[in-house]
Amino acid sequence: MKEYPAFSVILFLYFIICFIIVPEWKNGKGFEKTLAKICIL
C-alpha cells in the first residue's frame, strides 16, 4: 500500500487502539466511551 501510507498508519493505529487500549477503557468517561463505540462499530 505504498500509494496510501497514511491510510495504512491510521488502520494500524485503529487496531492498536481498539484491541489494546479500549479494553482498559470500559469504565472510562466521555472521549474514551466515544472511541470504544467507534471500535465496536
Check whether 41 has a pLDDT greater than 60.
no
Mean pLDDT for the stretch of residues 8-37: 72
Total count of residues recorded for the chain: 41
pLDDT given at position 16: 79
The number of domains in the chain is 1
Q: Which residue reads 479494553 in cell numbers?
A: 23
Instruction: List the domain range (segments joined by +) for residue 32.
Output: 3-40
Largest CA distance in the chain: 39
Mean pLDDT for the stretch of residues 4-24: 78
**Whether pTM exceeds 0.85:** no
